[in-house]
Every structure is written in structure tokens, then in C-alpha cells.
Amino acid sequence: MNVKLSNGREIPVEMHKIRIVQKTQLVPVDERLKAIEEGGYNTFALRTRDIFIDMLTDSGTNAMSDNQLAAMMVSDDAYAGSESFYKLASAIKDVLGFKYVLPVHQGRAAEHLLAKVFIKPGDVIPMNYHFTTTKAHFELAGAKVLEIFRDLALTTQSTEPFKGNLDIQKFRDVIKKYGAKKIPFIRMEATTNLLGGQPFSIQNLKEVKQVASEHKIPLVYDGSLISENAYFVKQREKGYENKTIQEIINDMMSVVDIFYLSGRKSTCVRGGFIATNNKEYFELIKPWLPVYEGFLTYGGMSTHEIEAMAVGLREMTEIDVAGSAAEFVKYFAERLIENKIPVVTPPGGLACHVDAKLFLPHLPQSQYPAGALAAAIYITSGVRSMERGTISMDRDQDGNEVYSDLELARLAVPRRTYTMSHIEYVVDRIKWLHQHRDKVKGLKFVEEPPVLRFFFGKLEALDNWGAKLAEAFKKEFGPNY
């Protein structure tokens, strides 16, 4: 919930109390420099002991509710026929309206199964934007991913409420060019992760469905961030102001053929599932579930997590849960903007995204500005963010760099995990870094994996800039921070 203070500022107020806590520590800047150097300037290589505030991702790092934890204690571990599964299936029916459920260990496993069952080499998959694991699975199955967003989606500083919308004309053109037979499905990603957590409107979703149905193309919905997309629809789409999150979800689901999600985000648990009302699709996927994931009633998830997911799904329809990350992201972005830091606007669903091209205008994309910025933020603050730019793209088949549309350092806001003073601290250190941004230089690969290179790649700071930045930091704050 937001409250207006007497000084006029509006702040997000947590509608929960925190009764279980986990210790964290801030190691001094010299130790942070050592940790990032050893990790090849890749924030994925850092260990928790070296991290003060972990904003790498909101995935699997959210605070769970007391009811979720309580549900975990009563799970049924039966290999087949687990009652926990039936609780999840009934939550999926109630919240999303789907009859058939295939649990998987996490979102990318759902993508793997969809690719395995529906994609043939030479197919094309249109979507509003890709996610890294989605693209990897669909391409490994031989498809080409076509991102058909509107041009304005790439303007980072914008007031456009629905940058996640799909361009309907481009969709028609794709069908004309490739033919519907080459398009096994169209994918809409709720609150497009790599565009900076930007939602699509229900109107756009329905237009997509209209065109897809004309050509009998199924609509696949990635709902990993469904409650956030619904929250933004309530805030930004005309006619939805007075609808509940559940009513908005119902409206969205009325046009969906196949739904999948990573439960690690909106539902605050580790797991995922595919759901549909189409028996034929269900039967096509079902035989592969035990091969790759597990039996139909657990699919690679622990039964504890299945119980917690059943509760989390219902809880994400509460307004204060659906908006818990979004309102913190908004506050975070506004505080950075006040300090002249270029961030993605309007603020999105899962994270505050700093525009590294604007923050570090002296770095060419070939020197990975978003990766350099993520490393620099860590050195100056102990805060771990994630590179979402060219390092997150893999090279093409000829070994050429594929430059990312956007170069972003993503500071994720796990739901209900951090507090206002954490946000204020991060804002302050990024402000200092911005004033010393000329010290940040580029990166170059020293070890480069062939697939999803951002996970394990190792890089080096050009001109040893990390050490120089740490020296400047110590001059200002001393050696202990």
C-alpha cells in the first residue's frame, strides 16, 4: 500500500511484519574488489558471504508468507497421487481457470517441454520479447525467435504504459511471410523481463488472440510475472481501475491456450508448471514429463514447494502481494531519477533497471557497458545486480557478437525481502558511482562459454579500472565500507 507523508512524499508501506530474518554483512571494499576479480567481473560468480544486498534476481529469493511455510509442513510425499498436487491443481483451476496441469521443476523446464513437443526445425516463434532461457530452448529445437515489439519499446526513458505490447501489424506480416504452418504458437510474456519488466495491456493481448485465432495459431502465455502484469493493468489500463487482480487475471486467461510459469517470481516458491484446458495439448506433453521432470503429480518439484505454490498462487491475487515489488521498484526508480541516474521508465515489475548506455556513454557496446556497470555497482556498494545486455546475448553461428537492444544493469527487488533503508543505501552508492563514472572502463572476455555465456563467462577489467575505482571509493568513505 502507498501512503502520503505529511511532507507530501508518497512511500510504499509494507503490509506485513517480518518475524524471521537472515543475517547479511557488508565486507569492505578491498574484499569486494578481490571477490569480483576472482569472479571474472561476473556477478553470478560471487558468493553470498561477499554480498550485502542481493539484487541479482527476484527469482526464488522472495520472502514466503507464514501460510506458505505452514503449508510446507503438511505435504504429501507420495511418488504418485500426492494430495499436495491436487491442492495445487485446484488452486490453478480457481485462480487461472485451467483443468490440466503439468508441474515442472522451474520455468525453463516448461520451455524445454513446449519446445520438444511443438517446435520443428525451421519454425518461427513470434513473441513480444524473448527471455534468455526461452530463446535458448526454442533455438536448440531449431526455431527462430522473432521479437515483434513496437519500436517505442526500446526507448528506455518513456511514459508509454505498455511497452510490452506486441506489434499487431508486424504479427500479420510475419504470418504472411512465413505462413501459419511454420508458427507452432505465439508467445506473450507477462511483464517482459528483458525490456525492463514492462507489461502488455489486455487490449493488446486480445488483439493478438484475434489474429492468432484467424490462423489457428495457439497463444502461449508466460506468466512468470503474471500478478505484476495484472497490477499494472489495474493501474494503467482504462476500464480496469476498479477490477480486482483476480478479475484481471480471469480476463487475461480467457484468451490463453497454453499457460506456463516460473513459480520463482509471482508465486514466491521454487517450481513451475504448464496448464491448459486443451486435452490434446496436455496429452502431447504428458508422456515427456516423467522422462525429463518426474511423475505427473510432482514433475520435479518437492512436494513442500508444491504445497507452498498452491498457497502462493492464491496470495498473488491480493493487491498488496501483487504490488509488493512494483511499488518498491517505483520508489527506487523515482529516487534514482531525483539523483539524475538514467533508469528505465515507467518503472517495471521485477527490478529497477539502470540504463548503462546512458550511465557510461564513453563505453562502446563491444566493451559490455551493462556488465561493467554491474561490476562497478558491486565494488562501490556490495550490492549484487545483474548484467542484462550484450553479455546476456550469445554470439551468432559465425561467432559474431549480437549486440543487445538495451544495455541494462538490473537491480531486482525480491518481494518483501528488503526494506526502505536498503533502497536508500543503494541509491546513495549509485549516486556516488555516477559522479565517478569516468573511472569505469570496459570489460573483455577471458573465458567465454558457447551457450548462455553470462552465467559462467569470465571477464577482465580493461586498464585495471576496478582497482582504481576502489581507491577512489576509499578516499571518500575510508577502508571499512
**Catalytic machinery residues:** 79, 131-132, 222, 265, 388, 454
For 355-360, the CB contacts below 8 A with 24+ separation are 355/156, 355/157, 355/406, 355/407, 355/408, 356/389, 356/407, 356/408, 356/409, 357/406, 357/407, 358/156, 359/409, 359/434, 359/437, 360/437, 360/440
Specify the residue for cell string 503474471: 226
**Pairing status of strand 386-388 against strand 100-104:** unpaired
Angle value at C-alpha 148, between 143 and 150, nearest 5 degrees: 165
Contact pattern from residue 173 through residue 192 relative to ligand F0G, giving x for each residue in contact according to CB under 6 A and a dash for the rest: ----------------x---
How far apart CA 253 and CA 109 sit, in angstroms, is 21
Helix (H, G, I), strand (E, B) or coil at 359: helix
User: Is residue 57 at the binding interface for ligand F0G, with CB under 6 A as the rule?
Assistant: yes
User: Is residue 82 at the binding interface for ligand F0G, with CB under 6 A as the rule?
Assistant: no
User: Is residue 222 at the binding interface for ligand F0G, with CB under 6 A as the rule?
Assistant: yes
User: Is residue 108 at the binding interface for ligand F0G, with CB under 6 A as the rule?
Assistant: yes
Other C-beta atoms closer than 10 Å to the C-beta of 464 total 11
- C-alpha grid cell, residue 133: 532461457
Instruction: Tell me how many residues contact ligand F0G (CB under 6 A).
Output: 15
Residue 107 C-beta: closest distance to ligand F0G, Å? 2
Q: Between residues 198 and 303, which has the closer beta carbon with respect to ligand F0G?
A: 198
User: Is residue 131 at the binding interface for ligand F0G, with CB under 6 A as the rule?
Assistant: yes
Q: Between residues 267 and 390, which has the closer beta carbon with respect to ligand F0G?
A: 267
- Helix 83-96 crosses helix 303-315 at what angle (to 10 degrees)? 20
Residue 166 C-beta: closest distance to ligand F0G, Å? 15
Using CB under 6 A, which of 12, 103, 107, 342 touches ligand F0G?
107
Q: Between residues 59 and 380, which has the closer beta carbon with respect to ligand F0G?
A: 59
Residue 387 C-beta: closest distance to ligand F0G, Å? 11
Q: Between residues 91 and 412, which has the closer beta carbon with respect to ligand F0G?
A: 412
Using CB under 6 A, which of 130, 264, 330, 416 touches ligand F0G?
264
- Residue from 326, 263, 325 nearest 104 by CA: 263
Q: Between residues 107 and 323, which has the closer beta carbon with respect to ligand F0G?
A: 107
Residue 462's alpha-carbon distances to 292, 312, 372, 392, 449, in angstroms, are 42, 45, 10, 19, 20
User: Is residue 128 at the binding interface for ligand F0G, with CB under 6 A as the rule?
Assistant: no
Residue 351 C-beta: closest distance to ligand F0G, Å? 8
The letter for the amino acid at 362 is: H
Contact 354, 378 (CB under 8 A): no
How far apart CA 74 and CA 80 sit, in angstroms, is 17
Specify the residue for cell string 504418485: 80
Residue 108 C-beta: closest distance to ligand F0G, Å? 3
Residue 384 C-beta: closest distance to ligand F0G, Å? 12
User: Is residue 272 at the binding interface for ligand F0G, with CB under 6 A as the rule?
Assistant: yes
Burial of 325 (0-12, 13-18, 19+ CB in 10 A): buried
Binding segment (CB under 6 A) for ligand F0G, from list 72-80, 114-122, 126-134, 231-239: 126-134
Binding segment (CB under 6 A) for ligand F0G, from list 101-109, 145-153, 302-310, 437-445: 101-109
Q: Between residues 107 and 196, which has the closer beta carbon with respect to ligand F0G?
A: 107
Using Cβ positions, the residue closest to ligand F0G within the complex turns out to be: 107
Using CB under 6 A, which of 82, 84, 156, 224 touches ligand F0G?
224
As a 3-state breakdown, the chain gives helix, strand, coil percent values, each rounded to 5, of 45, 15, 40
Residues forming contacts to ligand F0G in the complex (CB under 6 A) are 57, 59, 106-108, 131, 133-134, 189, 193, 222, 224, 262, 264, 272
